[in-house]
Amino acid sequence: MTGLTVAAGVEDIANPDMVALALRRSDAGLRHHLEPSRFPGARVLVPLGPSGKPVVTESFRTVPVFSDLEALEAWVRPPYGFAPDPELEPAVVTVGTLTLPGGIDELLAGGAWVVVLNPEGPGSSHLGGVVGETPLKPEDLDDPPAEKGFLGRSKGAGPNDPRVKIPERSKLRDNLAQLLQQGLGARDAGDVGRALTVLKQADRMGREMGANVSSVVATLHAAPLLIEQGDRSQGSGLANVGAMGSNRHAKPRLQLEGLMMVADDSAYRIQEGKTVAAGAAASTADWLRRLADVALEQGSLSSARHAELYQRADQIAATYNDPLNNYNPDHWTPEGWRKDYGTDR
């Protein structure tokens, strides 16, 4: 792992029960959420930045934690098919551990707004914080019904599921990487139909594994192809998924890609004389400002790049006749979110 120093003993940490439950819930179509209290005493890995503090990413100040070292290594890799951007890649220099459930509360008390498990899979799930989603339903917290196979054997994810077994994941990740490679190869060869078909397969495989980074990578590569084909609604919708769902994949680089596509598509609609809600412009600009603020705070983003992103945000707002001073950082705090929406979402 280039640039990642592993503290002694973390390679022995594994949480198969946690991963299996997350996958069973996902396979059953339930929300991607795990309660840390279900796994008292379990240890998870926390990537640490140059300051020795947990890495914080993207607009919702997300802290990713990991069930095992393989899951962390997969997340650290730059998104496939995008030019490297060190200023917007999380700087991980060492690995710490925390113990559930109290460790999650400590992260939230220390400045995290969201804690997410395994954003590049397997079984990506929220562990706590302002998740930016609708309230959880009771069934989201229950054990999903166990599917039965031959002679009543359970079909749900268990200890022998290849997504759970660490040594077997490499093949799954290789298959996913091959789909992304094939999709971009078809795109570069001018076969847009083939590219979209393969990227859709990559997205589906990523979601089945709970590998949100790869899933969003596939959608963000597909989005401009759809826009070029004239399906601007679906294309910008996919880009919006990558930008606004960033507290699931915890990748600032991907959030920026999505935001820029949404902004460019909205500008195109304005030029064509179509209506774009002013609120959409304000929201896109504010997401971009928040992304810049958090990256600057982490020490990876230069002051010049920060100013450049703020200038772009002001341009986005001005394009739709929004005031330039509408940005309220307090809106993004957990307290502000509860005030505006009445509850954690």
Checking 79-82 for CB contacts under 8 A at 24+ apart, the result is 79/213, 79/217, 79/251, 79/253, 79/254, 80/177, 80/180, 80/181, 80/214, 80/217, 81/180, 81/184, 81/217, 81/221, 82/217, 82/253, 82/254, 82/257
Whose CA is closest to 112, among 49, 185, 19?
A: 49
DSSP 8-state symbol, 66: B
Phi, psi of 247 (to 5 degrees): -75, 0
Task: Please give the Cα distance from 209 to 1 (Å, whole number).
Answer: 22
What's the pLDDT tens digit per position in 110-168? 989 999 999 999 999 999 987 655 666 777 777 775 555 444 445 566 778 899 999 99
Bridge partners of 99? 43
Report the predicted TM-score, pTM, of the whole model to 2 decimal places: 0.89
Which pLDDT tens digits describe the chain residue by residue (345 residues)?
344 566 778 889 999 999 999 999 888 887 888 999 999 999 999 999 988 899 999 888 999 999 999 999 999 999 999 988 999 988 899 999 999 999 999 999 998 999 999 999 999 999 998 765 566 677 777 777 555 544 444 556 677 889 999 999 999 999 999 999 999 999 999 999 999 999 999 999 999 999 999 999 999 999 999 998 989 889 999 999 899 888 889 999 999 999 999 988 888 887 888 777 767 788 888 899 999 999 998 888 999 999 999 999 988 887 766 555 567 777 767 777 677 665 544
Length of the chain: 345
Task: Please give the Cα distance from 156 to 27 (Å, whole number).
Answer: 8
Which tokens sit at 98?
Answer: 């925390």
Report the Cα–Cα distance between both ends of the chain, in Å, rounded: 35
Cβ neighbors of 338 (< 8 A, separation 6 or more) are: 130, 344
Q: Check residue 323 and give its pLDDT.
A: 54
